[in-house]
Amino acid sequence: MNGRLSGTVRAVVLDIEGTTSAIAFVKETLFPFAEGALGGFLRARGEDPAVAGLLAEVRALSPGEEPEAALRGWMARDEKVTPLKALQGLIWRQGFEAGRLRGHLWPDVAPCLRAWAAGGIALRVYSSGSVEAQRLLFAHSEAGDLTPLLSGFDDTRTGPKREAASYAAIAASAGMAPADMLFLSDVAEELDAAAAAGMAACQVVRAADGTVASGRHPACATFPEVAARFGLPAPDVPPSG
Ligand SMILES: CSCCC(=O)C(=O)COP(=O)(O)O
Ligand SMILES: [Mg+2]
């Protein structure tokens, strides 16, 4: 089994889908919202410089195909293509700000994030969802605005989640050694990459998501279990639910 079980953790890097938040929320709420709004969004905003720049990235990645068709194909296959993820974030902004979307968090997550931040642990996010989407989810979460607890956000513009260099870049941007950082994710290949970069790595195995422990990393079902296993502060009141 890879990964350290002891040592001082100074920062926790959080995956979102399958870790802080239900896979079903991403696949059954967020993705259909973006898919349903895509056509109207491109007609209304396609010439805005930011959107036009992302559409140019789509054309470069899928030459000869209509950008909307390329985007729909990537959505159907859940491909984590950077300009798609950025466009989804822009579309979700409308939903989060209008109150039509609220960021799902498992009930054990917010109490632990508050306890860890209060205990001086730096909290960062690394998700395939764009930085904009990450900020929106935590700003409009079911547990309120948690963005003041978070000190860094990275997406696939930092690098692919299954490559060690991405985790080295995250550590450099945090100004820490990888060995001071703990990465939490449901996906074993992401944890392999983080461990290869020298981070501690823990698989979050949420029963409701049907995640299966890989056996390659320590596995925890909840954030309080992570806290106990890695010597992080525990919340004062054990979360219910
Ligand atoms: C609001 S974040 C949306 C999550 C998302 O789009 C996604 O692809 C999830 O990937 P993750 O790396 O968090 O598993
Ligand atoms: Mg995930």
Q: Rounded to two decimals, what is the model's pTM?
A: 0.94
**For residue 185, which ligand has an atom nearest its CA?**
2
Q: Is the CB of 127 under 6 A from ligand 1?
A: yes
H-helix or E-strand containing 13? strand 11-14
Q: How distant, in Å, are the alpha carbons of 37, 114, 183, 224 from that of 237? A: 40, 12, 24, 11
Measured between alpha carbons, how far is 222 from 88 in angstroms, rounded to an integer? Answer: 28
Q: What atom of ligand 1 comes closest to residue 78's alpha carbon? A: 8
Which of these, 101, 88, 105, lies nearest to 31 by C-alpha position? Answer: 88
pLDDT at 5: 45
Q: Is the CB of 162 under 6 A from ligand 1?
A: no
pLDDT at 215: 97
Residue nearest to atom 3 of ligand 1 (CA): 129
Ligand 1 centroid, distance to 47 Cα (angstroms): 26
Local mean pLDDT, 10-residue blocks, the chain (241 residues):
65 98 98 98 98 98 98 98 98 97 98 98 98 98 98 98 98 98 98 98 97 98 98 79 53
- What's the pLDDT tens digit per position in 161-181? 999 999 999 999 999 999 999
Tell me the average pLDDT of the chain. Answer: 95
In the chain, the percentage of residues whose pLDDT exceeds 90 is 95
- What's the pLDDT tens digit per position in 3-38? 444 569 999 999 999 999 999 999 999 999 999 999
> DSSP assignment, residue 204?
E
Q: Which domains does the chain have, with CATH numbers?
A: 11-21+103-230 (3.40.50.1000), 25-97 (1.10.720)
Which of these, 193, 186, 177, lies nearest to 223 by C-alpha position? Answer: 186
